Structure 1
C-alpha cells in the first residue's frame, strides 16, 4: 500500500472528477505560460526594431522634455500604457497584480551562475520573507548588500528587482539580500521601513553565514527602497550604530512633500506620474503622519555629516530626478563621498526593465560597477 497521502475529497465527489479537474488546471496553466512566453517573444521582436520605426509606432516624433530625450523603447511603453487604466483608478490589490504582470514581461533573466535562497528573518511583526542572491564566486572582502524594492510602499515584492539583484550579486561578487517588506494600505508607515531595518540588522549579525566581509552591509534600494535606505543610514547615526558600508540610492524618494521643478516638468511621465505618487502616499501615510518627519522624508534631516558613502542614480524622465540629485549634492556638501549618475534618457523604474530596454540594462550594470568600485576603495 502506498504511503503517499491522498487528497481529501468533498462529499459526493468522485476520484475521477478530481483527477479530471487537475488535468484541466494543468492544461490551463500550461496554456497561460505558453501565451506569456509568446507575448514576451513578440515584445522582444518589436523592441528590436530601429528607433525611428519604434517612435512611429509610439505616436511619432521624438519626446523631448526638460532638455532630455526619452529612450524610444520607453516611449513605446509610455504610448502603450495610454490604453490601460491609470493606477490611480485601481485598488491596491489590482495595482499589485497589474504591476506584477507588466514587470514579468520586461524583467531580465537571472544572471548566469547566481543562485537564490529563500530566507525568513524575524521582524517586529513576525517573519519577514527575504531572498538571498549568491554569486558564482564570493569575494571575502566584499560586504553584504541588503536591498529594498520600489513600489511606493504599496506594490512590489521579491520579483520586482529580481534581475537587478542578481546583477549586483554577480558584478560585486557578494550576496544580495532582497527584503519582502510589508505593504500599505494593510501596513502603513512605518511598517515597511521597520521590516527593512530589521533585515539589515539581521544581515549585519550574519555576515559569516554568507562568506562576506565582517563589516556592516551596504543598504540599497530604488524609489521607496531608496527612501528606506537613506533613512536607515540616518537611523544608524541617530542610534550610535555603525554606518552601512555604502548607501545605494536609485531614484530615491527623499521628500514626500517635494515641490521641485521636476515634479512639474515630469508630472505626466511614464510610469511614475505626480498623480500616482499622490495615490501611493495616500495609501502609505497614516492620518497622523507628518510629511516632514525625517523617517518619511530623509531630506528633511538638517545634518547629513558622518553618513555612509553613497552611490546615487537617477532617471531623467522622472518626477523624482531633482530630489535624488539634490540629496546627492547635500551629501557631498556634508563631506560624504558620493558617486552620482543621471541616466537622462531613462524613466523611473528602469531597474525592472533589464530584459526589454538595453539602455536600462547598461545603466544597471554601470551602477553595479560603481558599487563594486566603492567597495574596493574601502579598507577592512
Structure 2
C-alpha cells in the first residue's frame, strides 16, 4: 500500500458527517442521489487539481496514470499474468492475459477494454479489475491496449477492438478457452468498444461474444441532455472532459451518429448477446447507459441492469481506497460468474 493510499483510507474511516464537511466544492447530491461520503471526499480532492481536459495530452495521461495508481487495489494474488502482443490493423497491440490459479476454472474467456475516452488509460488502469474478474469467475481475461487519440483518431480504437476480439476467438485454444464462449467487456470508453464489438460481429454474421459486460458505457456521442447536464460538474468525469475526449477522437466534421461512434443509436438491437449493464449515479454517462440497457431489453436481449446511485464514474479503479467500490466490484464479478 502506498503512503497516499494509507492516508486516503485513514481519512475515509472518519464519520460521514465529518467527511461531508471536508468535501466542500464536490458534487455531493444530484438528481435525488447522495454520494457515498468516502467517495465524495475523494472526488472533492480530485476536483482541486487541474482538469485533465486543461492539460496537454501527455501530461493528462501521466496525471491520470498517477491517480489510478493511487486509487486502484493491487492485482489479485489468485491469478497468473503474462503480457503478449495481438496483431491489429495498425500494428501490434499490447495485451495482458490473466488466468485463475485458485482452482476456479472454466472454458470461458473475456476480452476487456480499459476506460479513458479513447485518449488516456492503459493496461494498468484496469489491471486490478481484470485480475478480479479472472479470480472470481474462473474465466481467462485478455485485456487489450488499443490505439488512442489524438495520435490515432476514429475509428482506430473500434477497429482494434474488433480485430482483438476476432484474434482471441480464433486462438481461444491457446488460452484454454472455447471460441463460442468468449465474452466482451469494458468500462466507459472500454464499454463503448465492447458494445461496438458485439454489434459489428453480429452485423458481419460471424461467431460473436456470448456475453457483453458494459460498465458505465459511452454509447452516444450526440448526447447533450439528462445526466450529461445534471452531472456536468461531477468528478472524476465531467462534461467538459467528455467533450475533450470527443474532440480528440472524432475528426472535425466526422459523423457522431456512425454506429462505430454511437452504438447506442443503432436501430436494430435484436440478436445481440446477453448484457450486464452498470451505471454510476454521479456520471454524465449515466442516462445513456440506462437508455441502452432498456433498448436492449425491448429488443428481446436478456439484460441485467444495475445503477450504483451513490458512486461516480470510474469506480472499477477505486477498490484500493473505497470499501463501497470494492464491494460493488465484487458484486459485478459475481454477476459475471453467474452469467458464465
TM-score, normalised to structure 1, is 0.86
Correspondence 1:83 to 2:60: no
Q: CA deviation at 1:137?
A: 4.4
Map 1:200-239 onto structure 2 (within 5 A).
Answer: 200-239=165-204
Correspondence 1:112 to 2:77: yes
Correspondence 1:182 to 2:182: no
Q: CA deviation at 1:82?
A: 3.0
Q: CA deviation at 1:139?
A: 5.5
Contact conserved, 1:138 with 1:211, CA < 8 A, in 2? no
For 1:123, the equivalent position in structure 2 comes to 88
CA distance 1:299–1:268, shift in 2 (3 Å): same
Correspondence 1:369 to 2:334: yes
Task: Flag the structure with more relative contact order, 1 or 2, with Cα contacts below 8 A and sequence separation at least 6.
Answer: 2
Query: Cα deviation per residue 1:261-280 (whole Å; 9 max; x = unaligned)?
Result: 11111111111111110011
Correspondence 1:150 to 2:112: no
Correspondence 1:350 to 2:306: no
Select the residue among 141, 166, 169 that pairs with 2:131: 166
Distance 1:232 1:162 in 2: 21
Query: Cα deviation per residue 1:62-98 (whole Å; 9 max; x = unaligned)?
Result: 9221010101122112221232111221111111000
> CA RMSD of the aligned region, Å?
1.6
Q: CA deviation at 1:173?
A: 0.3
For 1:96, the equivalent position in structure 2 comes to 61
Q: CA deviation at 1:243?
A: 2.6
Contact conserved, 1:161 with 1:351, CA < 8 A, in 2? yes
Distance 2:337 2:213 in 1: 11
For 1:254, the equivalent position in structure 2 comes to 219
Q: CA deviation at 1:258?
A: 0.6
Distance 2:220 2:40 in 1: 27
What SS does the corresponding residue of 1:287 show, helix, strand or coil?
Answer: coil
Question: Which runs of 4 or more aligned residues in structure 1 lie more than 3 Å from their structure 2 counterparts after TM superposition?
Answer: 137-142
Distance 1:206 1:215 in 2: 12
Distance 1:214 1:105 in 2: 36
Compare the two structures and name the one with the higher strand fraction: 2
* Runs (5+) with no aligned partner, structure 1: 1-35, 376-380
Aligned length: 340
* Runs (5+) with no aligned partner, structure 2: none
CA distance 1:181–1:62, shift in 2 (3 Å): closer
Query: Cα deviation per residue 1:121-151 (whole Å; 9 max; x = unaligned)?
Result: 1111111000011111466644100000000
TM-score, normalised to structure 2, is 0.96
